[in-house]
Structure 1
């Protein structure tokens, strides 16, 4: 049984698997919100309610999952 990012047991959560993979690989991604805003950077952390993205400028963005439309992994260069 896989654990969530804070160690709690989680099963059947595709979003956690995808976010964990992006975080572990340190891949750049773009988070697109329901109102069309785009936040680019690396996933630093996440839990049941939020995603923390570190932007290329070094700032952290805390994004509530209910505001997320899409998470896109950027192309490998």
Structure 2
């Protein structure tokens, strides 16, 4: 099962939904998520790509609200 972070990033990537990435130093990056892994996010703006380390990211805000559906964990019977 995909975690919430991966589901969010995958959704904005697939939908080409612009995001604002706020870094821990206060800097803002705007653009489209082109790819990601466990440690990094590739963002593209005006034809230029940047590799951003996730440990430097504070917040990622999409320009529009999104809905991510995740299957609920099966309840254990006692």
Confirm or deny a common fold (TM above 0.5): yes
Give RMSD over aligned pairs. 1.3
Determine the structure 1 residue equivalent to 2:57.
Answer: 68
Map 1:29-68 → 2, pairs under 5 A: 29-55=19-45, 57-68=46-57
Rg larger for: 2
What TM-score do the two structures reach when normalised by structure 2? 0.78
Unaligned regions of 5+ residues in structure 1, if any?
Answer: 2-10
Unaligned regions of 5+ residues in structure 2, if any?
Answer: 66-78
1:42-70 deviations in whole A, cap 9, x for unaligned?
A: 00000000000001x21101100000000
| SS of residue paired to 1:51 | strand
Dislocated runs of 4+, deviation >4 Å: none
What TM-score do the two structures reach when normalised by structure 1? 0.79
**Number of residue-to-residue matches in the alignment:** 65
